[in-house]
Chains A and B, each alone.
Chain A
Amino acid sequence: MVMLRYAVYRFFTMLLTLLVVSVLIFVIINLPPGDYLSNQIAELQASGQSAGVAKAEFLRKEYSLDRSLPEQYLIWMGFWSGPHGFEGLLQGNYGWSFEFDRPVSEIVGDTLWLTVVVNLAAILFVYAVALPLGVMAAAKSRTWIDYTSAFVGYLGLATPNFLLALILFYYGHRYFNLPIGGLMDPSFEGQPMSWEKLKSILVHLIVPTFVIGTSGASAMMQRLRANMLDELGKPYVETAIAKGMAPSRMLTKYPLRVAFNPFVADIGNLLPSMVSGSVLVSVVLGLQTIGPTLLTALKTQDQFLSAFILMFVALLTLIGTMISDILLVMLDPRIRYEGREA
């Protein structure tokens, strides 16, 4: 019951945060002087095409870009009545992309769930790699296993993601015949889901997952190792060994459970950096996630498109953080529901 109350409380704080974030994003998007349409109008006027000007002026009215910024924000969110009544994010209307001349929802469409898939895969990868390696490195500290994993970990932290992507792609293609670019075979695009398509997506996911996950995995591995080392020095471990417990069972049964806590709590830190990484890597690798679209939208000041994508990315991380917080409370009864602050 208390648990449920905490979950509800956490959900509402998330909504509140999202609201603040939406203001922040709107302000950032509107920082550059002018907007897509006013730039276009200026361009059209300079080249003397008056026909286009009328259309652009019409669009400006249509999307209420001629109003004041606070009003624009409210209309965009759907709190305020626009030219056609309440039509904002809340009502499921994501706006119009001027650059592509299509509704935003149509452009992002498929890419949204592909983004989620890529990030989920990367998170699974991080856990699958960091957990065994971190425990191994701690259990066999100051041996070659420890040093090798530390070295690989440092290298993973230090190599810029996009370079790793390029290099892996090159060698992956050359030696393992992994496909280059994209998230599925072009022939499957727009097709309904099938086993063949799923297989194609999985094969295409290998390199991106590795690239996005590496830095997160190495950071998490180091932290897990440090936590484990702290726990391994405690008397209860000595007692367990003295009583003749098998090392592997001893490790997983006691110290790992305690060291595991920060592991879950870390999702909150891990997720934002992961999503960041996936945006960058998607641009380099040409994945059909929202990364490349975001970049074009930002470069051309396509405000509704970029604002929506930023909102989506923020939502993704906020939901992830919320889940990790709730999981943490479920896993560790020592954490009080009122929050973790001292």
Chain B
Amino acid sequence: MSKLPDGRYVDEAPFDPQASIQQLERADLDAPNWVLVWRKFRTHKLGLISGLFLLLCYLMLPFAGFIAPYGPNDRNGEHLYAPPQSVNWFHEGKFIGPYVYPIVAEADLETFQWKFVPDTEDPRPIRFFCKGSEYKLAGLIKSDTHLFCPPEGATLFLWGSDRLGRDVFSRILYGAQLSLTVGLIGISVSFVLGILFGSMAGYFGGRIDWVINRVIEILRSLPELPLWLALSAAVPSNWSPVAVFFIISIILGILDWPGLARSVRAKFLSLREEEYVRAAEMMGASSGRVIRKHLLPNFTSHLIASATLSIPAMILGETALSFLGLGLRAPAVSWGVMLNDAQNLASIEIYPWTAIPMLPIIIVVLAFNFLGDGLRDSLDPYQQ
């Protein structure tokens, strides 16, 4: 690129009249689908940010133990319902790095509550990369190094502690492991069922279609929550938390597939008349092959978008179930289980921080909604 005296820019490469003037657009037209999708998705700022945020959240899950200063069930008997401690950087005008004031519990004989008084004379710096309670990295590797720990002889409750003196912040991190994966497992179940039944109904039609349609109608016309409640009440109470967790997510998935199956069926109905389907059938492809190789790839992207939009419902479902005491149970930690503590007005009024787990729920659900909207808009790059 060189600049002419009159201020214009001229490309130094020699002019080649043979080069196609459409080359640039050609590259555009030949670009694989995902490039086009990505290009469009990038313009959807809210969706992009939400996607990144969710990616970070899920990447964080295996390292929850490392980031959390406490274990999920570490009790601190002397600090029940301790309020959040603020982390400060400057003590009396002097910079000493992040520190907290140790708090001491004092009984208030008028209200019969514990009052926590910070000792503002005694700043204690937070330790980094220190030894703390033992945990398993990604559930496999044992370790006891934490990103940051409470100072010696003091506590570090960033978001307060609950009724057993457990750190709310650490529990939210651990709770994310279950609360965020419930949606993924549930959606996989619903995906498999929805695609299976939806494609069967749409491709074969006739009697199969009729039966599946009626099942879908019935399942859709029933209120979800009472069914969830009934099904999860059927889970034996002596099962291990992990088993209960899987069953709950499968229950959420089983009741979610009808919506997906309906859209799959509608797509199949219109696509099965296409000529390439006829061609594949003529060449002797089995129906399974036609469905998998020729029909499904047409709208998997669509399905992914709608799946993204139905994950929030599952996360909220798990929360509701656990909140009512029919979902996950202690010692398992999930956001719903934590909110179980904040069930009454008294605790919201006196210990508002026990309701903090609602923030991650709201944020994650919003993020999934935005991401899903962005995906839905961008997955069809040819649409204007």
Chain A interface residues (CB < 8 Å from chain B)? 17, 20-21, 24-25, 28-29, 31-33, 154-155, 157-163, 166-167, 169-170, 180, 268-269, 271-277, 279-280, 283-284, 294-295, 298-299, 301, 306, 309-310, 313-314, 317-318, 321, 341-342
Contact = CB atoms under 8 A, between A and B. Distances in A.
Interface in B296-355: 312, 316, 319-320, 323-326, 339, 342-343, 345, 348-349, 355
B155 interface: no
B365 A158 contact: yes
A322 to B, nearest CB: 9
A166 B227 contact: no
9 residue pairs, one from A and one from B, having the closest CB atoms: A276-B225, A31-B234, A158-B365, A298-B233, A275-B223, A276-B223, A272-B223, A32-B234, A158-B366
12 contacts: A17-B214, A17-B221, A159-B358, A163-B339, A166-B343, A166-B355, A170-B349, A271-B223, A279-B225, A313-B226, A314-B222, A317-B221
B292 interface: no
A154 B224 contact: no
A63 to B, nearest CB: 19
B233 A277 contact: no
A172 to B, nearest CB: 11
A158 B371 CA distance: 13
B369 A158 contact: yes
Contacts of A309: 226
A12 to B, nearest CB: 14
Contacts of A284: 343
B361 interface: yes
Given A170-B345, A298-B233, A158 B362 contact: yes
Task: Tell me what chain A mostly uses at the interface: helix, strand, loop, or mixed.
Answer: helix
B323 A167 contact: no
Given A20-B218, A158-B369, 14 more contacts: A25-B230, A32-B233, A155-B366, A161-B320, A166-B345, A271-B223, A272-B222, A279-B225, A279-B226, A298-B326, A301-B233, A313-B223, A321-B221, A341-B213
B236 interface: yes
Nearest to B233: A298
A294 B339 CA distance: 21
Contacts of A20: 214, 218
B365 A157 contact: yes
Contact of A310 (B218, B226, B236, B358): B226
Contacts of B217: 17
Contact of A160 (B213, B221, B320, B325): B320
A269 B220 contact: yes
B230 A166 contact: no
B229 interface: yes
A25 B6 CA distance: 84
Contacts of A157: 312, 365, 369
B363 to A, nearest CB: 8
B269 interface: yes
A168 B251 CA distance: 30
A67 B323 CA distance: 36
B362 A159 contact: yes
B225 A277 contact: yes
B231 interface: yes
B333 to A, nearest CB: 17
Contact of A28 (B231, B323, B358): B231
B225 A280 contact: yes
B324 A283 contact: yes
B221 A272 contact: yes
A33 to B, nearest CB: 7
B362 A317 contact: no
B64 to A, nearest CB: 22
B320 A268 contact: no
Nearest to A309: B226
A158 B312 contact: yes
A310 B325 CA distance: 19
B230 A298 contact: yes
A167 B218 contact: no
B362 A155 contact: yes
Given A28-B234, A154-B369, A280 B345 contact: no
A272 B259 CA distance: 13
A311 to B, nearest CB: 10
B348 A170 contact: yes
Contacts of A166: 342-343, 345, 348, 355
Contacts of A161: 320
B252 to A, nearest CB: 13
B224 A306 contact: no
Contact of B230 (A155, A160, A310): A310
A313 B348 CA distance: 31
Interface in B209-257: 213-214, 217-218, 220-227, 229-231, 233-234, 236
Contacts of B324: 280, 283, 295
Contacts of B339: 160, 163
A272 B229 contact: no
Given A21-B222, A314-B222, A29 B230 contact: yes
Contacts of B323: 160, 162
Nearest to B230: A28
Contacts of B320: 160-162, 280
B272 to A, nearest CB: 12
A169 B345 contact: yes
A154 B323 CA distance: 22
Contacts of B326: 295, 298-299
Contacts of A32: 233-234, 236
Contacts of B370: 154
A180 B358 contact: no
A155 B366 CA distance: 7
B224 A272 contact: yes
A319 to B, nearest CB: 10
Interface string B6-17: 000000000000
A172 B225 CA distance: 26
B221 A318 contact: yes
Contacts of A272: 220-224
A24 B221 CA distance: 13
A241 B213 CA distance: 43
B105 to A, nearest CB: 26
A25 B230 CA distance: 9
Given A276-B223, A306-B230, A163 B358 contact: yes
